[in-house]
């Protein structure tokens, strides 16, 4: 079972890329890219998980050694916020594309010049 | 390439990626296993440095240079989003006052909830930033909460109210100053988790407000003048 | 957390991710994305990561869907005619 669990992030990643490939609207494609990014967060946290362990915060419990891995949590935490700003940048580009070219359909945006 | 062709290429590529992924996960440690050597060392280090929240200790103390890089990425992409949405000659921006609508057009329940929740959310955001070294929280989370709390004014009121409360130049200066302070703290004075939390919280909050301000302008105010 | 809870949270996440991708209309997709952000936050709590869950709940349920909806509104405002699903000006 333990290695089957790692297939969930793979599924999320492939589903996100499938969404980008078959997208007919650039905003939909950007959101699917964000879903594909979230697959990496899930995979990182699954690698750091430890059965019957607690969160790596000792504000109210005695410090023990039985905690999940805090390093991957530190990586994922900043990654989420930075990923949101990059999504914002992509959506800003989409808005400008819509204004310049009049469409957000990737199939109608084939060339660089209108 | 036609959409069908793209889909077929993706199916081949996706199948290949899936096979490689399954082969790779065979070599990963068991899910829920107990072999985390790096993690165990960081936990003992964090307790030595008197920071009960180990994740904050890693972010701002043990691996502060990584967070410095992430912080600069965040500032750069927020700056890029703001620059991409700048007004050009062919466009003009309507006055925010043209989008005022009376208090009767918003439901009373929404208005009251917004007004009541706004101070609570702001205080919660400051609490999350300040207690980042102690309990779950910190600069990134608290900054996002602060940055999105201000927009309750837009929900409870109207756009001119929001425009009055967030003067954009003040937020731009705040973001720049906070980023500079964080760079100094990360390079020169390492390990002061609360000060770094505060700098990051201010920076992330201002970045969120600035990016949302540009998007609001594009969605509500800007129009082509041709 | 007990194993069944972790497995249930993982399966729910995979289901919600599929739902986000299969929602073609961007305005509807923003709402489903907000729900997906909440489900991811629940998964992160189940995996004993409260900091990450807090970050994800704040970002994925509020900030990103808001930006998506503002972008859709900005695109429609300029009277764009696009052939995406349900995107009439």
**Residue ranges of domains in chain C:** 3-77
How far separated are the first and last CA of chain A, in Å rounded?
53
Rg over CA atoms, chain A: 19
Please state the separation of Cα C32 from the chain's center in Å. Answer: 5
Hey, which residues does B92 pair with through a beta bridge? B223
Hey, which residues does B53 pair with through a beta bridge? A57
Name the strand (E) or helix (H) holding B222: strand B222-224
Backbone angles phi, psi at B32, to 5 degrees: 85, 10
For all residues of chain C together, what is the average pLDDT?
87
Compute the distance between CA of residue A88 and CA of residue B148 in angstroms, rounded to an integer: 14
* C33 touching A (Cβ < 8 Å): yes
Burial status of residue B155 (CB atoms within 10 A of its CB: 0-12, 13-18, 19 or more)? middle
**CB-based contact C55 A80, cutoff 8 Å:** yes
Confidence of residue A17 (pLDDT cuts 50, 70, 90): very high
Confidence of residue C31 (pLDDT cuts 50, 70, 90): very high
Q: Which residues of C touch B (CB under 8 A)?
A: 3, 6, 50-51, 54-55, 58-59, 62-63, 66-67, 70-71, 73-74, 77-78
Provide the 3-class DSSP secondary structure of residue A50.
strand
Contact A10, A30 (CB under 8 A): no
Compute the distance between CA of residue C35 and CA of residue A98 in angstroms, rounded to an integer: 27
Pick from A64-68, B67-71, B157-161, C79-83: least confident: C79-83
Task: Indicate if the pLDDT at residue C85 is higher than 50.
Answer: no
- C46-64 b/e (C-beta count within 10 Å ≥ 16 → b): bbbbbbbbbbbbbbbbbbb
Residue percentage of chain B with pLDDT more than 70: 91
Task: Indicate if the pLDDT at residue B73 is higher than 70.
Answer: yes
For all residues of chain A together, what is the average pLDDT?
90
Give residue C1's pLDDT. Answer: 55
Compute the distance between CA of residue A12 and CA of residue A5 in angstroms, rounded to an integer: 12
How far separated are the first and last CA of chain B, in Å rounded?
36
For all residues of chain B together, what is the average pLDDT?
88
Q: Is the dihedral of CA B216, B217, B221, B226 positive or negative?
A: negative
Confidence of residue B45 (pLDDT cuts 50, 70, 90): confident
What's the mean pLDDT in C12-33?
95
Provide the 3-class DSSP secondary structure of residue B92.
strand
What's the mean pLDDT in C9-16?
96
Contact C50, B141 (CB under 8 A): no
- A10 located within any domain: yes
Confidence of residue B89 (pLDDT cuts 50, 70, 90): low
Contact A85, B143 (CB under 8 A): no
Q: Which residues contact A33 (CB under 8 A, 6 or more apart)?
A: A16, A20, A87, A90
Q: Which residues of A touch C71 (CB under 8 A)?
A: 27, 91-92, 94-95
- Residue for token digits 């808005």? A95
Name the strand (E) or helix (H) holding C29: helix C26-46
Q: Which residues of C touch B216 (CB under 8 A)?
A: 70
Give residue B165's pLDDT. Answer: 87
Contact B170, B156 (CB under 8 A): no
Domain boundary assignment for chain B: 54-224
Distance from CA of A104 to the nearest CA of C (A): 6
**CB-based contact B215 C78, cutoff 8 Å:** no
Confidence of residue C84 (pLDDT cuts 50, 70, 90): very low
> pTM for the complete prediction?
0.91
**CB-based contact B25 A3, cutoff 8 Å:** yes
Distance from CA of B117 to the nearest CA of A (A): 23
Contact A42, C44 (CB under 8 A): no
Q: Which of A106, B173, B70 is nearest to C83 (CA)?
A: A106
- A58 located within any domain: no
Q: Which residues contact B134 (CB under 8 A, 6 or more apart)?
A: A59, B52, B53
- Residue for token digits 């970050």? C55
Q: Which residues contact B202 (CB under 8 A, 6 or more apart)?
A: B143, B174, B175, B177, B178
Chain A: touching chains (3 or more CB pairs < 8 Å):
B, C
pLDDT tens-digit map of B93-109 = 666 666 665 555 778 88
Confidence of residue B219 (pLDDT cuts 50, 70, 90): confident
Contact B133, B58 (CB under 8 A): no
Compute the distance between CA of residue B159 and CA of residue B168 in angstroms, rounded to an integer: 14
Confidence of residue A46 (pLDDT cuts 50, 70, 90): very high
**CB-based contact B77 A85, cutoff 8 Å:** yes
Confidence of residue A1 (pLDDT cuts 50, 70, 90): low
Q: Which residues of A touch B218 (CB under 8 A)?
A: 95
* Domain coverage including residue A80: 2-52+63-108
Contact B197, B132 (CB under 8 A): yes
pLDDT tens-digit map of B107-137 = 888 889 998 999 999 999 999 999 988 899 8
Distance from CA of C46 to the nearest CA of B (A): 12
Tokens of C60: 């994925």
**CB-based contact C74 B138, cutoff 8 Å:** no
What's the mean pLDDT in A25-40?
96
Q: What is the CATH number of the domain that holds A31?
A: 1.10.287.3510
- A94 located within any domain: yes
Looking at the 3D structure of chain A, how many domains does it have? 1
Task: Indicate if the pLDDT at residue B26 is higher than 80.
Answer: yes
- A57 located within any domain: no
**CB-based contact A6 B207, cutoff 8 Å:** no
pLDDT tens-digit map of C35-77 = 999 999 999 999 999 999 999 999 999 999 999 999 999 998 8
């Amino acid at each position: 079972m333990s290695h089957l669990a790692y297939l969930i992030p793979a599924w999320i990643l492939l589903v996100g890329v499938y969404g980008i490939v078959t997208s007919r609207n650039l905003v939909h494609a950007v959101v699917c890219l964000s879903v594909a990014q979230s697959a990496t967060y899930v995979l990182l946290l699954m690698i750091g998980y430890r059965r019957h362990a607690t969160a790596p915060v000792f504000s109210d419990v005695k410090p023990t050694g039985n905690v999940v891995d805090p390093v991957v949590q530190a990586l994922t935490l900043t990654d989420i916020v930075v990923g949101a700003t990059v999504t914002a940048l992509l959506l800003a580009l989409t808005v400008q594309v819509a204004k310049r070219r009049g469409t957000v359909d990737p199939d109608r945006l084939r060339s660089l010049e209108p | 390439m036609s959409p069908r062709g793209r889909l077929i290429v993706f199916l081949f590529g996706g199948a290949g990626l899936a096979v490689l992924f399954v082969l790779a996960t065979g070599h990963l440690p068991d899910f829920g296993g107990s072999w985390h050597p790096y993690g165990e060392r960081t936990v003992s280090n964090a307790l030595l440095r008197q920071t009960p929240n180990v994740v904050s200790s890693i972010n701002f103390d043990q691996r502060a240079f990584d967070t410095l890089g992430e912080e600069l990425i965040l500032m750069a992409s927020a700056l890029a989003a703001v620059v991409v949405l700048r007004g050009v000659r062919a466009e003009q921006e309507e006055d925010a006052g043209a989008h005022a609508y009376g208090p009767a057009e918003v439901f009373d329940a929404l208005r009251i909830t917004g007004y009541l929740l706004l101070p609570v959310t702001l205080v919660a955001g400051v609490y999350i930033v300040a207690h980042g070294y102690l309990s779950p929280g910190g600069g990134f989370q608290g900054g996002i909460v602060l940055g999105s709390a201000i927009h309750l004014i837009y929900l409870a009121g109207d756009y001119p109210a929001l425009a009055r409360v967030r003067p954009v130049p003040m937020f731009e200066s705040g973001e720049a100053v906070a980023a500079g302070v964080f760079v100094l703290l990360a390079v020169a004075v390492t390990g002061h988790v609360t000060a770094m939390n505060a700098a990051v919280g201010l920076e992330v909050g201002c970045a969120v407000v600035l990016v949302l301000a540009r998007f609001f302008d594009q969605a509500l105010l800007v129009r082509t003048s041709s | 957390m007990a194993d069944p809870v972790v497995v249930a949270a993982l399966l729910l996440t995979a289901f919600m991710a599929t739902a986000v991708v299969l929602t073609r209309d961007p305005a509807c997709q923003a709402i489903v994305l907000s729900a997906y952000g909440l489900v991811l936050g629940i998964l992160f709590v189940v995996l004993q990561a409260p900091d990450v869950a807090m970050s994800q709940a704040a970002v994925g349920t509020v900030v990103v869907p808001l930006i998506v909806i503002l972008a859709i509104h900005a695109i429609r405002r300029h009277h764009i005619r696009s052939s995406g699903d349900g995107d009439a000006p």
